Amino acid sequence: MDKKILIVDPVSTRLLLEKTCLSRKEYKIFTSSIGSEGYQKAKEVKPNLILFSADLVDLDGADFCRKIRSDEETKKTSLILIVAKDDDSKINEIMSSGCNDFITFPLNKLILDQKLGVYLNIATRRAARIMVQMKIETKSFQGFHLGTSVNLSKTGMLLETPITLCIGEEIYLKFFLPKNLKQIETKALVVREEKIGNLKRYGLKFINLDSEYERMIDLFTKCD
């Protein structure tokens, strides 16, 4: 069965997407240029995934997310934000409103393909890339930052981030699992470091993870 993708964007993003990654036969594409229209179309066509921009003319991205998440017909739909690079404040706001993931301009075809694979049903959910918000108060860094979990289990995660962390540091994490409205919040300990070219990845061990969050992650990682 074809996967349904709804693109909600007031400018030319959807045209670029249709001509690149979304031209494959297994994707059925729907489009809308404003937020309220996109919300109604989501209720009508019930897409598997919504790609949307941060500014939707009559709604901002955070309001759009909240409308989608508060409606019984659409609340389980995966949401990916399309946003300008380095707009961390906007990304933080929208991710906190229930968005699953984001991709930045200029669009990277490989990264977009990977994210589509994750949210349009991949074979193993354990390797799903999940956006993670970090609160760090250490000697090396203070404040909020974003990273990506590239491997997740109920005991910890492998976190990819451009900032430098130190083994032994404690950080505070917030993240959503795809198609789940409940935000997971936990402390974690940095236990190892990996370097792949210019990328930095850190092994994190959850500290006293709530039993409900543990069950959520366990179910997610075992789901095909």
pLDDT at 127: 45
How long is the chain? 224
Based on the domain organization, do 166 and 203 belong to the same domain? yes
Rounded to whole angstroms, the Cα distance separating 20 from 148 reads 24
Based on the domain organization, do 77 and 170 belong to the same domain? no
User: What are the respective helix, strand and coil percentages of the chain, to the nearest 5?
Assistant: 30, 35, 35
Rounded to whole angstroms, the Cα distance separating 99 from 67 reads 11
End-to-end CA distance of the chain: 17
Whether the CB-CB separation of 224 and 125 falls below 8 Å is answered with yes
At 88, which CATH number? 3.40.50.2300
Based on the domain organization, do 105 and 148 belong to the same domain? no
pLDDT digits (tens, 9 = 90+) for 6-65: 999 887 555 556 555 666 556 888 989 899 999 999 999 999 999 999 989 899 999 999
Last residue of a domain, one of 120, 153, 179: 120
Based on the domain organization, do 99 and 146 belong to the same domain? no
DSSP symbol at 139? S
pTM assigned to the model: 0.58
Total of domains in the chain:
2
Based on the domain organization, do 24 and 116 belong to the same domain? yes
Domain with 16, as residue range(s), is 3-120
User: How is residue 195 written in tokens?
Assistant: 């370097």
Query: Could you tell me which residues are beta bridge partners of residue 133?
Result: 146, 174
Based on the domain organization, do 111 and 16 belong to the same domain? yes
Based on the domain organization, do 14 and 71 belong to the same domain? yes
Based on the domain organization, do 12 and 105 belong to the same domain? yes
pLDDT digits (tens, 9 = 90+) for 53-103: 998 989 999 999 999 999 999 998 999 998 876 677 788 888 888 888 888
CB atoms within 10 A of CB 152: 24
Q: How do 156-160 and 199-207 pair as beta strands?
A: antiparallel
pLDDT digits (tens, 9 = 90+) for 107-161: 777 677 777 777 776 433 444 567 676 776 666 566 777 788 878 888 999 888 8
Based on the domain organization, do 106 and 213 belong to the same domain? no
Based on the domain organization, do 9 and 111 belong to the same domain? yes
Last residue of a domain, one of 91, 120, 149: 120
